[in-house]
Amino acid sequence: MKVVIQRVSSASVTIEANQVASIQNGLLILLGIVEDDLQDDIDWLSNKIVNLRIFNDENNVMNKSLKDIEGDAIVVSQFTLHALTKKGNRPSYIKAAKPDIAIPLYKTFVKQLEIDLGKHVQTGEFGADMKVELINDGPVTIIIDSKNKE
């Protein structure tokens, strides 16, 4: 499981001119899933995300977590995070999990994030053509891969 997290002062997701998610201070989380991802990947990644100290404290030092600031989150499925670009100019997405595997893992990840964060987490729509807007705060953008946790 791989994520790109962006610290945002605002973010939203629109599908066919309908805004389906919108947050202010928090994280936009782009989530890519591969076929061998398991509950352990979900648990580790969710815990890492909510406790990652990337928000400023009173001294303007990145010392607070999403949980500490009671921030919001949007999770957007992003199979392109697992693009293979070594050969040719057309990315291959063969490593990305197919919907029958990815959708249940995506939903489970969102539920786990809600448990760890202690609040509702907004989402895009799996497989939809989404327009994602954000104001990256900092900018702070971090990539985390659950396969690199050790």
Which residues share a beta bridge with 10?
135
Nearest residue to 54 (alpha-carbon basis) of 144, 142, 146: 142
Q: Is the pTM of this model over 0.85?
A: yes
Q: And the tokens for 102?
A: 């990815």
The string of DSSP codes covering 59-78 is: TS-EEE-HHHHT-EEEEEE-
Work out the mean pLDDT of the chain and round it to a whole number.
Answer: 96
The answer to whether the CB of 119 falls within 8 A of the CB of 127 is no
Does 123 qualify as catalytic in the annotation?
Answer: no
pLDDT interval class at 149 (50, 70, 90): confident
The answer to whether the CB of 31 falls within 8 A of the CB of 106 is yes
From the candidate CATH numbers 3.40.640.10, 3.50.80.10, 1.25.10.10, 3.40.190.10, the one assigned to the domain spanning 2-148: 3.50.80.10
pLDDT interval class at 28 (50, 70, 90): very high
Among the listed residues 80, 85, 108, 141, the single catalytic one is 80
pLDDT value for 115: 98
Instruction: Provide, rounded to the nearest whole percent, the portion of the chain with pLDDT above 70.
Output: 100
The answer to whether the CB of 121 falls within 8 A of the CB of 113 is yes
